[in-house]
Amino acid sequence: MDKQQELTRCSVDKKCGGCRYRNISYEEQLSIKQHQEETLLSPFGRVRSIIGMERPYYYRNKVQAVFGYDYRRRRTLSGVFQSNSGRMVPVDKCLLDDETADAIILTVRRLCDSFKLAPFDKRNGSGFLRHILVRRGFMSGEVMVVLVSAVPAFPSKRNFVRALLQAHPQITTVVHNVNPYETELVLGEHSEVLYGKGVIEDTLCGMSFRISPASFYQVNPVQCETLYQTALLFAALTGEETVLDAYCGTGTIGLLAAKQAKQVIGVELNRDAVRDAMENAKRNGVKNIYFYGGDAGEYIETAVQEGTRFDVVLTDPPRAGASVPFLRAVCRMKPKRVVYISCNLQTLARDLRYLTQRGYKAKAIQPVDMFPYTKHVETACLLSRSDMNF
Ligand code: SAH
C-alpha cells in the first residue's frame, strides 16, 4: 500500500459523503477541479492553473460532530449526518480533520459515558449533548471546544471540564452553547464560557486574529494564506485607495489590505464577527479600517446614494453569491477593480455574467484548492472596467 492509499483508508468510506474524491489521486482531483473551473469560467477569461496543497490531509482547523447513542453497545457515538438519509454516521477519525480535534471529540464521547450524560435524542427530546465544535489555531496552537446541548442545565460541568482538560492540556478554552431549536445550525444563541477566554487567536499572513465560536474563519489556513495573497496581488493597492471589504467576516482580508491602502471599510452581517473584526483591528494596530454590521447590498446601495466612492471592492460572499442589489450598486459606483473571492463556481459564473455585461472584464481567474478530497473549489477573480485603462 503506498502512502496515499494508507492515508486515505477510511472506515466510513461512502457512508459519510464528505470525501467526494477519496479514491482519486490528488493530481487527478486537481485536474477535475481545473476542468470544472474552465467549463464554467473560461467564457469570461483564461483560467490559471489551480494551486494545490503539498500535504492535502488533516487541513481542517474546524471540526464539528453530532452525538448519538449506540443502544446495543450502550455507548455514546459521534459523527456526521449523512446528507441523503439524515442518519448519523459514526466517525472516529477523518483524513481531512485536524488530528487534535478528532482526538478531543473521542474523549468527549468517552466522558459522556462516564458522566452518564446521554446524548440528545431528537425523537423524544431527551438527553443533553447535541454537537461539538473544535477549532484549533494552526499557528498559535490555541484550541477551542464548544459543547452544544439542547438544554441549559449542564450536570457536573466543572468535573467534566476538568477531566477534558486533563486529557487534553492543549485546550485553551471551553464554551457551553445551548441550542434548543429544531435547526440545521449547530450553534444556538446562548453561550457560557466554562474555561479560558471563550475565543481563540491565530496568525494569518503575519497578523493576529481573534475568532469567536460563531465567527467565520477559513477552515484551511495553509491555503487561505495563498488565497489572500492572491486577492491582495489582484487588488494592486498603492496606498491611495479607499477599499470596501464586503462580506468581511472577522476582517481578515480587509486588515491585510489596510496596510497597503488609504482606508478600508468592512461590512459583515454576523454581529460576533463584526465584534471580532474591530478587536482584530485594535490588536494589530490598524487605524485606517472601519467595520459596519449589516447587509453588504444595503450598505453599498446607501454608499452610492450618498456619493461615496470606493476605488477597489473586495468581495467574499457565502455560497449563495453576491446579491443583485449589491452587484447593481457596484456597477453604479464603478470601482476601478473588483476582487471577487468565491467558494461556489455556479454563483461566481452567474455574478461574473452580471458584472461583465455591465462594463467589467475578468482580468485574472485563479483557482485555489482549499478543500482537497471534496468537490468544493475556491476561486479568486480580478475584474476591472473595460472602459477604463488600468
Ligand atoms: N472574508 C471573510 C469571510 C468570508 S465568508 C474571510 O475570508 O474570512 C462570508 C461572510 O459573509 C460570513 O462571515 C457571513 O457571515 C457574511 N455574510 C453573509 N451574508 C451577508 C450579507 N448579506 N451581508 C454581509 N455579510 C454577509
Q: What is the DSSP letter of 118?
A: P
- 267-325 pLDDT, tens digit per residue, is 999 998 999 999 999 999 999 999 999 999 999 999 999 999 999 999 999 999 999 99
Grade residue 1 by pLDDT with cuts at 50, 70 and 90: very low
Query: Which one of 224, 248, 343, 381 is the catalytic residue?
Result: 343
* Measured distance between the N- and C-terminal CA atoms of the chain, rounded to whole angstroms: 53
Tell me what pLDDT residue 231 has.
98
55 class by beta-carbon count within 10 Å (0-12 exposed, 13-18 middle, 19+ buried): exposed
- Amino acid of residue 105: I
Burial of 123 (0-12, 13-18, 19+ CB in 10 A): exposed
Exposure b/e, 164-183, CB count within 10 A at least 16 = b:
bbeebeebbbbbbbbbeeee
248 a catalytic residue: no
Instruction: Round to whole Å and give the CA distance between 295 and 301.
Output: 10
60 Rama class: left (phi>0) / alpha (psi -120 to 50) / beta: beta
Residue 293 alpha carbon to ligand 1 centre in Å: 11
Report the separation in Å between the CA atom of 318 and the middle of ligand 1, taken as the mean of its atom positions. 6
Q: In the prediction, which pLDDT does 183 show?
A: 82
What is the reported pLDDT for 7? 60
Measured from the CA of 267, which atom of ligand 1 is nearest? 24
Tell me the average pLDDT across 31-43: 98
Can you give the pLDDT at residue 390?
Answer: 46
Per-residue model confidence (pLDDT) at position 387: 63
175-228 tens-digit pLDDT:
999 999 888 889 999 999 999 999 999 999 999 999 999 888 889 999 999 999
Q: What pLDDT, on a 0 to 100 scale, did the predictor assign at position 6?
A: 57
Angle between the N-to-C axes of helices 324-333 and 345-356, in degrees from 0 to 180, rounded to the nearest 10: 40
Q: Any idea which residue has 455574478 for its cell?
A: 351
Ligand 1 pocket (Cβ < 6 Å) reads 216, 218, 247-249, 252-253, 267-270, 273, 295-296, 316-318
Task: Give the list of residues 6+ apart from residue 151 with CB closer than 8 angstroms, or none.
Answer: 128, 178, 180
Nearest atom within ligand 1 for CA of residue 295: 23
Asked if pLDDT for residue 100 goes beyond 80, the answer is yes
Tell me 78's DSSP state: E
How many angstroms does the Cα of residue 370 sit away from the middle of ligand 1? Answer: 17
Task: State the pTM of this model.
Answer: 0.89
316 Cα–ligand 1 center, Å: 7
